[in-house]
Amino acid sequence: MAKKALVVEDDINIAELLRLYLEKDDFEVTIAGDGGKGVAEFERVNPDLVLLDIMLPVMDGWAVCREIRASDRKVPIIMLTAKGETFDKVNGLEMGADDYIVKPFEVKELIARIHAVMRRYDGAPGEKPKRLVFDKLVIDMESFELIVDGQRVEAPPKEMELLYHLASSPNRVYTRNQLLDEVWGFDYFGDSRTVDVHIKRLREKLENVSDKWSLKTVWGVGYKFELKQG
C-alpha cells in the first residue's frame, strides 16, 4: 500500500514539484496551501509523512507542528523553509520536527532525508527491543509512551528517541555529535545545543525517580544512561 504524504506549502510551484517527486517515490500526496488547511488535512488524511513550510498564511508552520505533536498520531515532520539561521533550526527541532531542510534544496537530498526519517519511525526488524523496563521507568517505543513511577508522562517523539537510544546501551557514553548523528540522523552543522536542551527536559521528568539509574553528564565528553550496580 502506498504511503501518504501531506505537503503544507503556500508556493504552488514548490508544492507541485514536491508532488511530482513524491509520487515518483510511490507516495499518495495531499497539498494544503495554508496552515489551517494543513491541520484539517492532517486530521482527514492521517498521513505517514508531513512536509511543512514555516512561512504560511492563516497559521504558521510552528503552530501547525505544535498541533500535530499535540495529537496522538506519531508521524515524521520535515520542515522546509527559507529560514536558515541556527536558531530557527534548533527551534523547529525542539518543537518536534524530525528534520529541517533549507530552500532552495536538492530534491534528491530531500528524498534521501525522507527515507532516513521514515526508517527511524519504522524501525529495523530484529534489532533492539521496542520496550525497555527499569526500576520505576518504562520506555515503550511501540506506543511512544513514557511511564515514570507508574504514571504516563508526556514526552515529544525526539525526547523519547533520545532516552531510548541512551537506555538501549546502559553505561555507554555518547558524544553530542554521536547523538545528533544516531538520533537525529543528519548533519546538524556541529550545533549540539539541541542535545543539551533535550537532556535537560528529560531530567526534569526523571529527576529523583530512582536511585538505580540516572541520566549522567560525562564532562568534556557527552552523556550516558547509568545503571547503578547492586
Same domain for 111 and 147, yes or no, is no
Mean pLDDT over residues 214-218, rounded? 94
Q: pTM of this prediction?
A: 0.59
Question: pLDDT, tens digit, for every residue of 92-106?
Answer: 666 778 888 888 888
Domain-ending residue, one of 122, 140, 173: 122
* Confidence at residue 98, expressed as pLDDT on a 0 to 100 scale: 82
Same domain for 195 and 172, yes or no, is yes
Cα-based distances in Å from 82 to 30, 54, 97, 104: 22, 8, 16, 7
Same domain for 70 and 140, yes or no, is no
Same domain for 63 and 24, yes or no, is yes
In 3D space, the residue among 168, 139, 146 whose CA is nearest the CA of residue 227 turns out to be 168
Same domain for 155 and 107, yes or no, is no
Mean pLDDT, the chain, whole residue set? 85
* Confidence at residue 92, expressed as pLDDT on a 0 to 100 scale: 65
Same domain for 65 and 41, yes or no, is yes
Same domain for 8 and 79, yes or no, is yes
Domain residues for the domain of 150 are 131-227
In this predicted structure, the answer to whether residue 72 has a pLDDT above a threshold of 50 is: yes
In 3D space, the residue among 190, 124, 134 whose CA is nearest the CA of residue 166 turns out to be 134
Alpha carbon distance 98, 75 (integer Å): 9
* Confidence at residue 230, expressed as pLDDT on a 0 to 100 scale: 52
Question: pLDDT, tens digit, for every residue of 119-167?
Answer: 777 654 445 567 888 999 999 887 778 999 989 898 888 889 899 999 9
* Confidence at residue 101, expressed as pLDDT on a 0 to 100 scale: 81
Q: Give the count of domains, the chain.
A: 2
| CATH code, domain with 92 | 3.40.50.2300
| CATH code, domain with 157 | 1.10.10.10
Q: Percent of the chain scored above 90 by pLDDT?
A: 44
**Ordered alpha helix ranges (H), the chain:** 12-24, 35-45, 61-70, 86-94, 107-122, 157-168, 176-179, 193-206
In this predicted structure, the answer to whether residue 38 has a pLDDT above a threshold of 90 is: yes
In 3D space, the residue among 135, 133, 156 whose CA is nearest the CA of residue 144 turns out to be 156
Mean pLDDT over residues 59-73, rounded? 88
Domain-ending residue, one of 74, 96, 122: 122
Same domain for 111 and 9, yes or no, is yes
* Confidence at residue 182, expressed as pLDDT on a 0 to 100 scale: 81
In this predicted structure, the answer to whether residue 200 has a pLDDT above a threshold of 90 is: yes
Mean pLDDT over residues 202-228, rounded? 92
What SS3 state is found at 115? helix
Same domain for 99 and 164, yes or no, is no
Q: Of 26 and 187, which is predicted with more confidence?
A: 26
* Confidence at residue 126, expressed as pLDDT on a 0 to 100 scale: 44
Same domain for 219 and 137, yes or no, is yes
Same domain for 179 and 100, yes or no, is no
Domain-ending residue, one of 122, 141, 171: 122
* Confidence at residue 224, expressed as pLDDT on a 0 to 100 scale: 95
* Confidence at residue 1, expressed as pLDDT on a 0 to 100 scale: 63
Mark 90-123 as b/e (b = at least 16 C-beta within 10 Å): bbbbbbbbbbbbeeeeeeeebeebbeebbebbee
Contact partners, residue 16, CB within 8 Å, separation at least 6: 31
Same domain for 76 and 108, yes or no, is yes
